[in-house]
Amino acid sequence: MYTPEPKTQARLDDLARDLEYRAAHFAGYPCNQNFDYSALTPFLQLVLNNVGDPFRGSNFSSNTHEIEREVITQFARLLRLPEEDAWGYVTNGGTEGNMYGLFLARELFPEGVVYFSEDTHYSVVKIMRVLKARSIMIKSQPSGEIDYEDLYETIRINRDAPVIFMANIGTTMKGAVDDIGKVRDILKQLAITESYIHGDAALSGMILPFVDEPQPYAFDQGFDSLSISGHKLIGSPLPCGVVLTRSAYVARISRSIEYVGVMDTTLTGSRNAITPLMIWLAFQRYGIEGFRGLVADMLDTARYAVDRFNALDIPAWRNKNSVTVVFPKPSPQIIAKWQLASYEDIAHIITMPHVTREMIDKIAAECVQDERARQPQEAR
């Protein structure tokens, strides 16, 4: 067993103390800190690699493909995709999942135009550059949901090209969900016969399956591929996610790699073999009803946050089925202390399981004090 030298250990101890403090003031980003993967410690002593397609064999057999397939099957059930038609893999996060879905769409429709709203995650603009795909940004409504009138007119002008639509299932800053029922109606009205819809469901993909009146989020409602993060609602010390699509689409990009004996169907070659274990273990821990309870508690906390802020005359709001609580941007000091995400004149709290009502009370009180301090002396 390796024992670090005192200087090295001191450096690690200092870093751990700093990060533990920051973890206690972590309210603005959608990462669940309430997890326990200590049962997986023995696997950290092994060389594991999920290279290649998890549904095919590999010469590199030190992998967790079997567990990964179970994870994909679980998500196929949640997202209402028939298991015999389902294909997917565990990614290193939402950006890779979005890139994979849009890559498939580009391969199916090389002349297609990608449409996405101005509230779409920043990574999509980068993905468009990497794929060299033609794209058009559409205006958003104040809620963060896409502007359907602008979408209609823009598609109408470019109706000679296949439509690739990038749907937000919970926008980054406001938690808004694009209604693909309305998008599909637009495609029907304009007689668009070639289309592909990918959904970025990084956070809300693990919320909407567990609420009574969800917005459209599933394959049976018209999606062709979906990306969900694992380090967000599920919780993980390592960034990860899942991308899910139909196996028939994947056949278009598949090729055989002889020296490792795999089918190359993923974006990366070597892939993390620990994160599938983490997602799998979380489902073993919570089960469907456990996640349902977790989501209900998060939504209750979000309602409390809106009420608490408003009671203190801080205008706060959230979208339907969203745990993202939006309010006016506070001082840089408050943003830094509580690791709040901010954009232009707004900021948000995301009521992940570790975000308590006590934390919300403290943030709200500090925002009130901050506002008073910023007022001119004669106005007090």
Q: Is residue 58 very low, low, confident or very high in pLDDT (cuts 50, 70, 90)?
A: confident
Q: What tokens appear for 324 in the block?
A: 């993202």
Q: Is 322 a catalytic residue?
A: yes
Question: For residue 251, what pLDDT band results from cuts at 50, 70 and 90?
Answer: confident
pLDDT grade, residue 376 (50/70/90)? low
**115 has a pLDDT exceeding 70:** yes
Q: Is pLDDT of 169 > 80? A: yes
Cβ atoms 146, 117 nearer than 8 A = yes
According to the model, what pLDDT value does residue 193 have? Answer: 95
CA proximity to 199, closest of 181, 186, 173: 181
Q: What pLDDT, in 10s, does the model give residues 282-335? A: 999 999 999 999 999 999 999 999 999 999 999 999 999 999 999 999 999 999
User: CA angle, corner 68, sides to 270 and 177, nearest 5?
Assistant: 100
Q: What is the pLDDT of residue 379?
A: 54
User: Is 261's pLDDT higher than 60?
Assistant: no
What is the arrangement of strands in the sheet containing 195-200, beginning at the earlier edge strand?
86-91, 241-246, 225-229, 195-200, 163-168, 113-117, 134-138
Of the pLDDT bands very low, low, confident and very high (cuts 50, 70, 90), residue 262 is low
Smallest Cα–Cα separation from 135: which of 116, 152, 153, 151? 116
Rounded CA gap, 152 and 185, in Å?
10
**Residue among 335, 269, 315, 326 at smallest CA distance from 96:** 269
Instruction: Share the mean pLDDT of the chain.
Output: 94
pLDDT band at 49 (very low <50, low <70, confident <90, very high): very high
Q: Mean of the pLDDT values across residues 41-55?
A: 94
Pure H helices in 264-328? 275-311
Tell how strand 225-229 and strand 195-200 pair up.
parallel
- pLDDT the model gives residue 258: 40
In this model, does residue 378 exceed pLDDT 50? Answer: no
Section 90-109 average pLDDT: 95
Q: Sorting pLDDT into bands at 50, 70 and 90, what band is 377?
A: low
Over residues 228-247, the pLDDT tens digits come to: 999 999 999 999 999 999 99
- Count CB-CB contacts under 10 A for residue 366: 16
Q: What is the mean pLDDT of residues 188-200?
A: 97
pLDDT for 257 equals 46
- Catalytic residue, from 123, 254, 322, 331: name it: 322
User: Which stretches of the chain are DSSP H helices?
Assistant: 6-23, 65-78, 94-108, 123-131, 148-157, 180-189, 247-250, 275-311, 332-338, 357-374
Q: What percent of the chain has pLDDT over 70?
A: 96
pLDDT given at position 259: 42
Residues ≥6 apart with Cβ < 8 Å to 142 = none
Q: Tell me if 218 sits within 8 A of 229, measured CB to CB.
A: no
Mean pLDDT in residue range 23-32 = 95
Integer angstrom CA distances of residue 110 from 19, 72, 159, 186, 373: 45, 27, 15, 21, 56
The domains of the chain, with CATH numbers, are 6-36+288-372 (3.90.1150.10), 39-283 (3.40.640.10)
Q: State the average pLDDT over residues 137-166.
A: 97
What pLDDT is stored for residue 50 in this prediction?
95
* Mean pLDDT of all residues in 130-140: 96
- How many CA atoms does the CB half-sphere of 360 hold within 13 Å? 31
pLDDT score, position 211: 97
Supply the pTM of this predicted model. 0.93
CA–CA separation, 354 vs 25, rounded Å? 10
- Percent helix, strand, coil in the chain (nearest 5)? 45, 15, 40
Q: What does the DSSP 8-state code read for residue 169?
A: B
